[in-house]
Every structure is written in structure tokens, then in C-alpha cells.
Chains A and B, each alone.
Chain A
């Protein structure tokens, strides 16, 4: 696979703040790449510099091995974190207005179906729900049959159902073989949608890899929580570290099966036991000592 986008040493300096501080990465065609980080990490600043929407202080961006030009504008699709649209136009008129701006045009009908907009075509684009608006903005990013799609926080502010729905749409786009760059501060979103993840904080990329690799690298242990009602002495002489917290006794191990086997041998009541597999949230916690959503 060849790299469709390469970013070298990207920097954005605002007065008194280095919002992006030397970001580099490379994305292969067909991959869904995620920038995961808390609010203010510099995700939007980074992808807007790549999109050529924001001037970069220094660094280089290559699209298909070339500096970005008119071809880049024609071939990428962009969904901004927040944008308003032309007023007094219906959803359909908005789509058509943007569709006509491109030389390369996807089938409008297909996009309307993919993004589930058929029912609201005649509605004023300001009088639709948050989820519908997000789907419209996504549709605008697909009008030119883009090869590379930028999605900045595509599900922020959505209710759980609308979010799942949008994930399905993004999955469908991925299945068409498109390259997607998305930013998010939701670890579940990154885990479900992204093939490659870079974890970002304070303008820097802390680590990169597939979701699985990251978890194995930083959080190899599962956490098994046992109820406090279990007497402490019954848990003595176990080969794992045990912390007692207000929520229960926490036991960290590489493999949950072994722990369960031993506990069953001791004939303990396991009805209130809970097992927590590590996720990207834990990875972030290990890396920064802070939670993704502060």
C-alpha cells in the first residue's frame, strides 16, 4: 500500500501558544486514521492545516507525494467541526449548490441514500435536528467522490442512537475503500472506526498504532473487581497485585481466565464480580495521568 497523505513536522504557533507542536504521520490509502485526544489537544488545528483551511506556521504536507494544489481541492472531502450553511436554502438546494462547485461529481441520489437525507430534502437547512445536520455536513463532504475524507469530531453533541447511526454511515464509506481521517475525543468511536490511531495531547502526538497494539503496549492487564463483602483474608496469597478501593478489591492480571480459575478453586461467591478490559481511555490515562474527558 502506498501513502496517500504524508505530514512532516507540522507546527501552528498562536501568540503565546504552540497549538500544534511538530506533528508528523503518514496515512496509507484505504485506511481510517484517527486523531484521538481531549478538547484543546490541537486536533482541529492539525487537520485544518492539512486541509489547507488554516495557514501553517511550518511543516510540510504531501498529497499523493505532491504538494497540495488545485487537484487536492477537487479530490478531498471535508467536514468541519462546526459550520453554518447558506441561509434560506433547503437541504436539497444546499446539496445541489455545493455539488455544482465540483468537476468530479458523485451521484447525488446515492449520497442522499447513504446519508439518509431523503425525508428532509425539502426542509430548510437550519430547521433540522443536530443528527440530521451532521449527516448533511457529511453528505457535503462526499459530493465530489473524494478519495480522502476529513471528519472533525463527527458525532460531538449527538445522542447515543444518532451517534451509532453515523458510525454505520462512516463504516459504509470505509467499505467503499475511501481513506478517512477523523478526529474525536470519544475513545469508543476511535476504537470502533479507526484502523490506525494517533493519540494527541497538548499539540504533540504521544503514540501511534492500531487500537489493539496501543492497548497491549500500555495496558496489558485486565482489571477484575471483587465486592468488598468478600473478607480480605480470603484473597491472601494470590499471585496478583490487589488494591482495595471504595468500589471494591481490584485485581490486575494479564489473563482473566487464570484469575477466575483460582477464585473458583477457593469457592468464593462470584456473583458480584466485574471484569474490565482495558480500552483507549486507559491508554490515555497511562500516558498522561489524565482522563480523556476532564
Chain B
């Protein structure tokens, strides 16, 4: 057992060194997430007016507050007499913040699902609070109320899908090409002539890939959170576990495709035929709500579906670890099944 771990570690270490020293693939893997992030922000930001947040003021003191707020930089404020109407517009993301002056202290509302809610809060409320301090006027005090959005904006819905897609492409191809190349050029043949076992070799490949993927995912995740103000409404632990086991199952799928294949073209073809359908039925881009039931059923056999569905439940709907535990269990089971089949089918040599 101890020796088995040592052999695993030896392979894990060698693979990491190899990866870290291969400048081109290293650069690509680490730069790609930033490209993706950049493209992402470009696509989703270009139609929007630069940064102005929209505020509505209601209640008896609406007029005077509106003047004060409208004067702030990057803010546009309007008076809406009907408080219910203002709240409705907030829920539908036509407004970023509503200030109700009917109560003392005034109450402001933001929508948690609106990416700009947080920005509006910073630009208006925090500024007003600070100004009051600077003028030695009696401090402006506000009460915060958040409005649970009835609808999740597309961008928030898409984000977990994009992360899942990135994990999928980063998993299946990288790990399978390396193994096929090693089989073709005899590295595997040499390794197979030692006491190393297929399972040890394969899990080292998995672990090494995981290491890289968790890094790139963390980069994209953090960058997107900062740029778009996404929120994780549910359990962070559940989300991390979902990403981890989602990546593990997808890497294991790549390993399975490379278990005895001898040509990069073949393994590339097989994986393209797997990943593209998987991408569509796993709802990366579009919801399959309303599509035939059998499609939704077929989708359940793909690890990506469980990764994305689970991550959406956690991020968008505030799910807890127990709420998504079945997705996690399925991902863990898939990982183990794929790895076991790969170990059984595995060949060190060419035919």
C-alpha cells in the first residue's frame, strides 16, 4: 500500500514537472482562462451604457433625495411615485436600487440577482453615508432590504455552465493525448516493464490534471465574481466538491478514451463525439426546459449535466450540500467506474 502510493507519487511528480516545463502548453493552460474571462466580459458588457446605475426614489421626500442622488457621478436617479411599481421594476432588473423615503430612516432595496445591485449600493448609499460624515451633518442612516429576484438573469445562469464547459475541455483532451502519445513512443512500454500498475499510473495522471484544472477554475471563478458580482447563494463546500468531482469524472472519461487507443486522431474523434453532444444536452448554453423528456433523461448519463445542474442549484438557488448530494454521489461513482474500467482495459504497449 505504501509502495503503491510511492509509485503513484513518482508518476504524479514526473507528470507535473513535465507539464510545468513544457512552456507552450503551460502558457496556454494558464493564459486561456484569462482570455475566456476577457471574451466573456466583452460579450456581455458591450451593449450596456458605461457604468451608470439606475436609482428610483419613492415616498414623501422623493424629490429632494432624487436631486441629491442624481448629482453623484455615474448615477441616474428618477422619482417614481408608486412604491409597488418601483419594486416591480427592480425585480425585473430595470432598476438597480430603490430608495423608499416613506420610513425613517429611509429604506433601500437592491436585487440580489442583479449584478449591478452591489455597484449601486457602493455608488449611492456608501457615498451618501460618507458625505454626511464629511459635512459634519447628522449621519445619513439607511436600512437595507434585499429583494429576492424571481428570475435569475441569464448571465448568472450561464456562468456555472461556462465553468463546467471549461473544465470539460480542459480534462478530457489533455489527459488522453498524453497517454496516447506515451503509448505510441514507447514511454508506457518502459513504465509497464516496472512494477507500476495501471491504476497507479492512471490515478497519477488524474491527480496531476486535477491540480491544473482547480487552479484555472479558481482564476476564472474569482475573476468573474469580481467583474460581474456573481454570488454563491448556497453552500461553498458543496460547490467546491461539485467542481472537484465533476473535473475528476471528466478526466476519468478522457482516461477511459485513451485506455488502449494508439492514435491521437482516433482518441480526438471519439472525444469530440462525446463532448459536443454532452455540451448540448447538459444545458451549458440553453435550458432544455420543454424539450422531449427522453433528451432530459439521456442528459443524466453525462457527468457534465450533474456538474452544471448541481453548481446552478448552489449558485443560483442557494442549495445546500444535502440538496445536491445525489449529483455529487453520481459524479463520484462515475469517476470510480471510469477509472476501474480504464485500469482493466489499459494496455502499456501497441498491438
Residues of A within 8 A of B (CB): 51, 53-54, 70, 73-74, 78, 80, 82-89, 93, 96-98, 100-103, 140, 144
Contacts and interface: CB of A to CB of B under 8 A. Distances in A.
A75 to B, nearest CB: 10
B13 A97 contact: yes
A84 B195 contact: no
Contacts of B349: 53-54
Identify whether the interface residues of A are mostly helix, strand, loop, or mixed. loop
Given A80-B186, A83-B187, A89-B17, A53 B193 contact: yes
B158 interface: no
Contact of B194 (A82, A86, A93, A101): A101
Given A97-B10, A100-B9, A103-B3, A85 B187 contact: yes
A97 B15 CA distance: 10
A103 B195 contact: yes
Contacts of A78: 193
Q: Which of B187, B190, B349 has the most CB of A within 10 A?
A: B190
A84 B187 contact: yes
A102 B290 CA distance: 57
Interface string B328-351: 000000000000000000001100
B192 interface: yes
Contacts of B195: 70, 73-74, 101-103
Nearest to A140: B190
6 contacts: A84-B185, A85-B190, A89-B18, A101-B6, A101-B196, A102-B195
B47 interface: no
Interface in B90-147: none
Nearest to A82: B186
Contacts of A144: 194
Interface of B: 3, 6-7, 9-11, 13-15, 17-18, 21-22, 185-187, 189-196, 348-349
Nearest to A90: B17
Contacts of A98: 10, 194
Contact of B14 (A53, A70, A86, A103): A86
A216 to B, nearest CB: 38
A101 B18 contact: no
Contacts of A96: 10
Contact of B7 (A53, A83, A85, A101): A101
A127 to B, nearest CB: 13
Contact of A53 (B6, B18, B192, B196): B192
A83 B18 contact: no
Given A53-B349, A100-B6, A100-B10, A83 B17 contact: no
Contacts of B18: 86-89
Identify whether the interface residues of B are mostly helix, strand, loop, or mixed. helix
Contacts of B187: 83-86
Q: Which of A53, A86, A140 has the most CB of B within 10 A?
A: A86
Nearest to A143: B194
A46 to B, nearest CB: 16
Contacts of A82: 186
A51 B194 CA distance: 11
Contact of A73 (B10, B17, B194): B194
Contact of A97 (B14, B185, B348): B14
Nearest to A104: B195
A100 B190 contact: no
A70 B195 CA distance: 7
Given A80-B186, A84-B185, A88-B21, 10 more contacts: A53-B348, A80-B189, A80-B193, A83-B186, A84-B187, A86-B187, A88-B17, A97-B13, A100-B7, A144-B194
Contacts of A54: 349
A94 to B, nearest CB: 8
Contacts of B186: 80, 82-84
A181 B193 CA distance: 16
A88 to B, nearest CB: 4
A53 B189 contact: yes
Question: Closest 5 interchain pairs by CB?
Answer: A88-B21, A100-B10, A83-B186, A84-B185, A101-B194
Nearest to B18: A88
A256 B22 CA distance: 64
B193 A87 contact: no
A74 B197 CA distance: 12
A83 B10 CA distance: 19
Contacts of B190: 80, 83, 85, 140
Contacts of A100: 6-7, 9-10
A88 B15 CA distance: 9
Nearest to B9: A100
Contacts of B348: 53
Nearest to B6: A100
Given A83-B186, A84-B185, A93 B196 contact: no
Nearest to B349: A53
A80 B9 CA distance: 25
A85 B191 CA distance: 9
